[in-house]
Chain A
């Protein structure tokens, strides 16, 4: 065990895989419902819950539940298992990727189980699919030294839980973020999934994005045109190493050294950049970089990621 107070925390970003909609069978109903730590309405009659799961071989996976009148009618274990079942409430750490990379601290609740390398933090958010129906977006962050994120979307389907999407990071220096955005109809939400990889050395970083919306006819999540994304560009560089050197140890340390062409930016080779779903967030964050060291010119631009994954 590492034992540091990492998730104490404020319970809190490759080549990301398995991010296509994937129907997954839900697990069996529990005999004795454990304590539910968070609930969200799924429909007029049903609600989602998050609860501690059972342990096997010292691995304890929290469960998403489907409840009717307070009774658990279905449950599904999440993929990351902690060393302990007890869920301790805190706030989501930014490393969790539960929202836009440039979103400020909004005190999203998260529950942590276990400690050190075997700690897993879980956050749950409702995603409005229509005026009558809500899905549950779950974010998990696991580990201490090397952290991994995983994101899941559940819907209630014939009184069963159905995992319709999983955002999964690859091995290595990957990051990801699941961001809820308002749909054009003003009544529902869509999800933008950002994923990145930071290999280091002479290799440039990579970033990709996909946008998903509920397809009522197919009763499933469907990929939609990505639309506009925004990025703060903090300087043009000859190579990734120069970009990382410029940002390292500064408030630009979380920025990626990206090939300009990956963002659809002409006339540059490598840019130090961070991508956001909202122009306003990018502009606000740009202002916050005023005190960053370095004299690189910073600007907000609309970028075209062409729905590519790193």
Chain B
């Protein structure tokens, strides 16, 4: 049964979320003439229309509610645990029985199925492509979100770990292969599964994982729900990014640097010595030379110059190697070797550690 946290009505507490919930119920429940008690859209703001709707409902149900009589609720007031709320809840159609709202928000929604929450959390726990601590926290978030708000969170279609090859295929991001937190099983895009919310007119709207429909009506309302998710995530903790609401990750982005972290992993599992930039020693043990971007290296097009390779070979062999001595095949082989280090990093994604 829908519940309020404090009284709603004339002279009552009138918390925004309580008002919104009572308004939504009065918008859904119809009188004997088939008209809703509240004719406007519910909005969480208490006023004359809401008062009139409460009074009209109480009068139509006066035998049960007995508002204004001794020991009963005041006329025009819905009390916490009172008869008006119970009667109003009882009058809701079967499609709208389980209404909820989160404190300090204005969007009333339907309770999701517990089985969906369990399924989502179990899928995360069983996902071998997430780092163990991260997936434990993520599953905990799913559990907590359902326990606290009866909302199911789940991983969006593209929200799991991405391999370096999948990252390379992404065209609407600046992050190259190995530069995304998604590449190391420590980030996820986790949205709202089958979120059904009550529109202003009382009808049910099924939304997408990203709350696109709600955001289309009010960005503030959608943000309030993301905020509710993030408030729980922060306690676990899991961290959000500044500009993308759906994304959560294991570490606070301000505490580490992705290219430096990638370089460390490359040094751990690869054959060359690496620095962010990216620079590599070609596996020859000398100075480090610029070799291009992560996208270039992954594509097998690392920017290996004849001069740099000649210099590196000179140091390694202690014999002068001129640029002109370097053959095209040697460049190609080095590009392949550098890519192989990235492939090793991809294969050993679990070994990634954050570097400030």
Name the residue among B176, B210, B222, B245 with the largest chain A CB count within 10 angstroms: B210
User: How far is A7 from B213 in the complex, measured between Cα atoms in Å?
Assistant: 31
Cβ contacts under 8 Å, B158 to chain A: 173, 199-201
Contact yes or no, A95 B174, CB < 8 A: yes
Name the residue among A143, A146, A171 with the largest chain B CB count within 10 angstroms: A171
Q: B226 touches which one: A80, A171, A175 (CB < 8 A)? A: A171
Q: How far is the CB of B206 from chain A (nearest CB, A)?
A: 13
**The stretch of B107-115, B257-265, B324-332 that contacts the partner chain:** B257-265
Is A293 on the interface with B (CB-CB < 8 A)?
A: no
Cβ contacts under 8 Å, B256 to chain A: 1
Cβ contacts under 8 Å, B216 to chain A: 15, 17, 170, 309
Could you give, for residues 172-183 of chain A, a 1 whenever the CB lies within 8 Å of some chain B CB and a 0 otherwise? 110100000000
Contact yes or no, B253 A171, CB < 8 A: no
Q: How far is the CB of B330 from chain A (nearest CB, A)?
A: 27
A15-B216, A17-B219, A173-B158 known; A146 vs B253 contact (CB < 8 Å): no
Is A117 on the interface with B (CB-CB < 8 A)?
A: yes
Is B241 on the interface with A (CB-CB < 8 A)?
A: yes
Contact yes or no, B276 A171, CB < 8 A: no
User: How far is A9 from B189 in the complex, measured between Cα atoms in Å?
Assistant: 26
Q: Interface residues of A toward B: which range? A: 35 or more
**The stretch of A128-136, A154-162, A246-254, A261-269 that contacts the partner chain:** A246-254
A145-B175, A147-B173, A175-B172 known; A170 vs B211 contact (CB < 8 Å): yes
Which chain B residue has the least Cβ–Cβ distance from A309? B216
Cβ contacts under 8 Å, A290 to chain B: none
Contact yes or no, A170 B276, CB < 8 A: no
Name the residue among A18, A143, A310 with the largest chain B CB count within 10 angstroms: A143
Q: B213 touches which one: A6, A15, A18, A148 (CB < 8 A)? A: A15
Is A49 on the interface with B (CB-CB < 8 A)?
A: no
Cβ contacts under 8 Å, A90 to chain B: none
Q: A117 touches which one: B169, B209, B243 (CB < 8 A)? A: B243
Q: Interface residues of B toward A: which range? A: 35 or more
User: How far is A173 from B213 in the complex, measured between Cα atoms in Å?
Assistant: 14
Cβ contacts under 8 Å, A248 to chain B: 169
Is A197 on the interface with B (CB-CB < 8 A)?
A: yes
Contact yes or no, B172 A13, CB < 8 A: yes
A3-B276, A145-B173, A145-B247 known; A171 vs B258 contact (CB < 8 Å): no
Contact yes or no, B174 A1, CB < 8 A: no
Contact yes or no, B215 A146, CB < 8 A: no
Q: A4 touches which one: B169, B174, B212, B242 (CB < 8 A)? A: B174
Is A118 on the interface with B (CB-CB < 8 A)?
A: yes
Is A203 on the interface with B (CB-CB < 8 A)?
A: yes
Name the residue among A9, A15, A249 with the largest chain B CB count within 10 angstroms: A15
Is A102 on the interface with B (CB-CB < 8 A)?
A: no
Contact yes or no, A253 B242, CB < 8 A: no
User: How far is A197 from B207 in the complex, measured between Cα atoms in Å?
Assistant: 14
Could you give, for residues 83-118 of chain B, a 1 whenever the CB lies within 8 Å of some chain A CB and a 0 otherwise? 000000000000000000000000000000000000
User: How far is A108 from B245 in the complex, measured between Cα atoms in Å?
Assistant: 29
Q: A146 touches which one: B157, B244, B258, B259 (CB < 8 A)? A: B244
Cβ contacts under 8 Å, A80 to chain B: 243
Contact yes or no, B174 A17, CB < 8 A: no
Contact yes or no, A3 B260, CB < 8 A: yes
Is A168 on the interface with B (CB-CB < 8 A)?
A: yes
Is A14 on the interface with B (CB-CB < 8 A)?
A: yes
Contact yes or no, B172 A2, CB < 8 A: no
Is B224 on the interface with A (CB-CB < 8 A)?
A: no
Cβ contacts under 8 Å, B259 to chain A: 2-4
Q: A201 touches which one: B157, B210, B241 (CB < 8 A)? A: B157
Cβ contacts under 8 Å, A117 to chain B: 241-243, 253
Is A77 on the interface with B (CB-CB < 8 A)?
A: no
Contact yes or no, A2 B246, CB < 8 A: no
Residues of A within 8 A of B (CB): 1-4, 6-7, 9, 13-15, 17-18, 80-81, 95, 116-118, 142-148, 168, 170-173, 175, 197-203, 248-249, 253-254, 309-310
Q: Top 10 nearest A-B pairs by Cβ distance?
A: A201-B157, A172-B210, A146-B244, A15-B212, A6-B174, A171-B245, A200-B157, A200-B158, A143-B243, A3-B257
Provide a sorted-by-A list of 30 A–B residue pairs whose CB atoms are within 8 angstroms. Answer: A1-B256, A2-B179, A4-B179, A4-B258, A14-B212, A15-B208, A17-B216, A80-B243, A116-B253, A117-B253, A143-B244, A144-B175, A145-B182, A145-B241, A145-B244, A146-B246, A170-B215, A170-B216, A171-B191, A171-B212, A171-B222, A171-B226, A172-B209, A199-B208, A200-B158, A201-B158, A248-B169, A249-B168, A253-B169, A254-B172
Residues of B within 8 A of A (CB): 156-158, 168-169, 171-176, 179-182, 187, 189, 191, 208-213, 215-216, 219, 222, 226, 241-247, 253-254, 256-260, 276
